[in-house]
Structure 1
Amino acid sequence: MNSGDDRLVQLIGKRVSLRHRIAPESSAGPHLSDAVGELDDGGPGPDGAPTLRVRTRGGTVHVRVADVVAVRAVPPARPKRPSWAAVEHLERICADAWPAPVVRDLGAWRLRAAGGFTRRANSALAVGNPGVPVPDALAEVRRFADRHGIPPVVAAPEGSPWWRAVRDEGWEVGADPGAQAVVLVAGLDSLAADGPAPGIAFDAEPSPDWWSVFDEEGADLTARRAVLVPDRPDGPQLGFGTARRDDGALTGVVRAAVVGDHLYLSRLEVLPAARRSGVGSVLTAAAARWGAERGARYAVLQVVRSNRAARALYERLGCVEHHRYHYLVPG
């Protein structure tokens, strides 16, 4: 920004209240407006004049620097807890983007099995009324798990009515670090790359070297493919991203899945030799652009709570916590 206003420069990246002109003072009606949100440099506008962006809860507001009347820093917004209906909606989107090959609905619960490949696809998603008393529902979870050779596990949003009901029956949060996870969200406009990134490609099918990045010895490969590359007409739109150096060497991969207006990001992995070089950020931005081109407006990710590196990366890119969920096991 070439505004000559040191005050504005110092406030970039902070939450501000910004008053700006929207019409000449001589015009009828309001001529000033206020925007509250994170301030960002908007670069030159269509006429070449410097601009600002204010990322508000209602969307991004674009302001010419010359139209700024007053600006001040304000405290961070207090997080607003999403409704349980919104949590349920997002959990179902995540489940559709990571589909188990075996699914049985029990009222609003979704019992899932995938040969043991990932707990996400081998647990009962409890986000509503199972249609039977909870003790009976949990007994059915046990029977279903036994039939498919997997441990009985219930996935439930932390603090939700369904989480409390299962806990009341003596089920506990799993003891391992992976039993607690965070759901992160972001608007794609804040994540997406402005244009194609060199060395990044997205394919409808994962290449052999895409698969090779993951050390999953002992995994059921048929189940793994059924979850990650589901062959079903109602499945998500899929893109398997790769990042390569100029010499063609693979540096990172990601899986992108579009479900409705959401882009579900997963399997982001950067090879050891390429870490701390920005590959993860570039892949995420490219995946966001890929998803936006296919109608997505929002990004959603599920991250193990203890994975601080991944959470820090996504938070730097603008993702915020929507809710948390636990994997509950019999006590």
Structure 2
Amino acid sequence: MTAAPTPGSRPDAGGPALDRLVGARVALRHRIGERDGRPLFTDAVGVLSDGGVRDGVPTVIVATRRGDVVVARPAVVAVREVPPAVRRRAPWPDVARLENLCADAWPAVTERRLGAWRLRASGGFTGRANAALAIGDPGVGTAAALALVRGFAEEHAIAARVLTPVGSPWSRAVEAEGWVPDAGYLPGPVVSVQVLACDAVADSPAEPVEVGAGPDTGWWGLVHGGPPDDVARRVLAPGSGREGYAVAGPPGSPTGAVRLAVVDDHVHVARLVVVPAARRAGTGTALMAAAARWGLARGARWLVMQVSTENPGGLAFWARLGATEHHRYHYLVPG
């Protein structure tokens, strides 16, 4: 409902000052009537936009968390810009569930359970498959668990490394033992976990994409740079029946590829590659639309992907599609 103009409003509040704040997040106070001869006011907080003219009255719109509030400009008595809303952190049980789903979708060659922790080794192929997932209770105390992580890493000739959500109680416990972010990890030690509803991109108009049950030569060429060795094949193509291998472009001349794995209600998206000549031409969007349709057909509702915070291009791509950050994790190593 549009708040009608009322006597007593500031004559300049709905004018140029308001126009300058279009597109910003604002706190807007407006008059909604009166009671016992005294004016009544209310506030709306959200992103401001021009509402045009309604019933002959110029209006603005404040997009609040509960929906749009349409306000007649003459009813505005005060407006000011406010900082962006603080993003609500996902509950730690939700973070733990999603991290374990991602670990299932990206299987290590060797995995050993330590209480709720998962010690993983894959000959050094990728950080995720060679880091202990430190979530939950290891059952032996953090110091003893980290000693076992070191022993497991030495046994499998890999670096001792822990993957744990940033700011979590598990991360704080590991850091209290002297472990620090792995500054030497080339993609960057901090990773953003992004989520996107399948329905949001499934209908995107795009070029044809084929999703196969196994990777072909073209897929391996784009994603891995050529035929895989045994470790890469066991991580990327374990043959569990939950994987999909999407390729865009004409046969024999693929323009993009991505690996998919459905676990419960999520599709894990990884190894997204688009050839330079096809970038900014919709190939990435086409692959994600195909991933969403493939996931919906298997009962999934969400796409989940992991992007280094030092990859601005990747983060911008997911932002354009409408993805949001669920949480972050980082790699920790002995200090």
Describe the SS at the equivalent of 2:151.
helix
2:132 maps to which residue?
Answer: 124
Q: 1:213 aligns to what SS in structure 2?
A: helix
Selected match of 2:120 from 102, 112, 132: 112
Q: Which residue of 2 aligns with 1:308?
A: 312
- The aligned counterpart of 2:212 is 203
Report the CA distance between 1:15 and its aligned residue. Answer: 9.2
Q: CA deviation at 1:254?
A: 0.8
Say which SS state the counterpart of residue 212 (structure 1) adopts. Answer: helix
Aligned partner letter, 1:324:
R
Aligned with residue 222 of structure 2, among 213, 218, 223: 213
Which of residues 274, 279, 282 is equivalent to 1:275?
A: 279
Could you tell me how far 1:229 is from its partner in structure 2? Answer: 1.2
Residue 26 of structure 1 corresponds to none
Which secondary structure does the structure 1 equivalent of 2:130 belong to?
coil
Quote the Cα distance in structure 2 between the aligned partners of 1:260 and 1:164. Answer: 29
Pick the aligned partner of 1:240 from 221, 236, 245: 245
Q: CA deviation at 1:71?
A: 7.5
Aligned to 1:192: 202
Deviation at 1:191, TM superposition (A): 2.2
How far apart, in 1, do the equivalents of 2:181 and 2:203 lie? 38
Q: Is the 8 A contact 1:115 1:220 kept in 2?
A: no
* Counterpart in the other structure of 2:170: 162
Candidates 246, 253, 256, aligned match of 1:252: 256
- 2:190 counterpart of 1:180: yes
Matches of 1:198 and 1:185, distance apart in 2: 23
CA distance in 1, matches of 2:327, 2:119: 21
Q: Deviations over 1:215-251 (max 9, x none)?
A: 568x97211111111134xx6x211000114x75210
CA distance in 2 between counterparts of 1:113 and 1:69 reads 54
Change (3 A) 1:271 1:175: same
TM-score by length of 1: 0.74
Alignment of 1:222-241 (within 5 A): 222-232=230-240, 237-241=242-246
- Structure 2 CA distance for partners of 1:154 and 1:69, relative to 1, 3 Å: closer
Amino acid at match of 1:223: V
CA distance in 2, matches of 1:117, 1:204: 22
**1:38-70 deviations in Å (ceiling 9; x for gaps):** 99xxxxxxxxxxxxxxx9989xx9xxxxxx994
Work out the CA distance in 1 between the residues paired with 2:254 and 2:313. Answer: 21
Following TM superposition, by how much is the alpha carbon of 1:312 offset from its aligned partner in structure 2, in angstroms? 0.3
What SS does the aligned partner of 2:137 have?
A: coil
User: How far apart in 2 are the matches of 1:313 and 1:119?
Assistant: 22
- Looking at structure 1, the residues matched to 288 and 24 of structure 2 have their Cα atoms a distance apart, in angstroms, of 23
Structure 2 equivalent of residue 323 of structure 1: 327
Q: CA deviation at 1:137?
A: 0.5
Amino acid at match of 1:174: D
Q: CA separation in 2, counterparts of 1:201 and 1:306?
A: 30
Q: Secondary structure at the match of 1:162?
A: helix
Shift of 1:302: 0.6
Distance 1:77 1:192, change over 3 A: farther
Taking a change above 3 Å as real, the CA distance of residues 15 and 106 of structure 1, as seen in their structure-2 partners, is same
Deviations 1:66-86 (A, max 9, x none): xx99489x9865311111111
Paired residue type of 1:185: V
Q: CA deviation at 1:199?
A: 2.8
- How far is the alpha carbon of 1:37 from its aligned partner? 10
Greater than 4 Å deviation, 4+ residue runs: 13-16, 36-39, 55-58, 68-72, 74-77
CA deviation after TM superposition for structure 1 residue 209, in Å: 1.1
For the pair shown, the structure with the greater C-alpha radius of gyration is 2
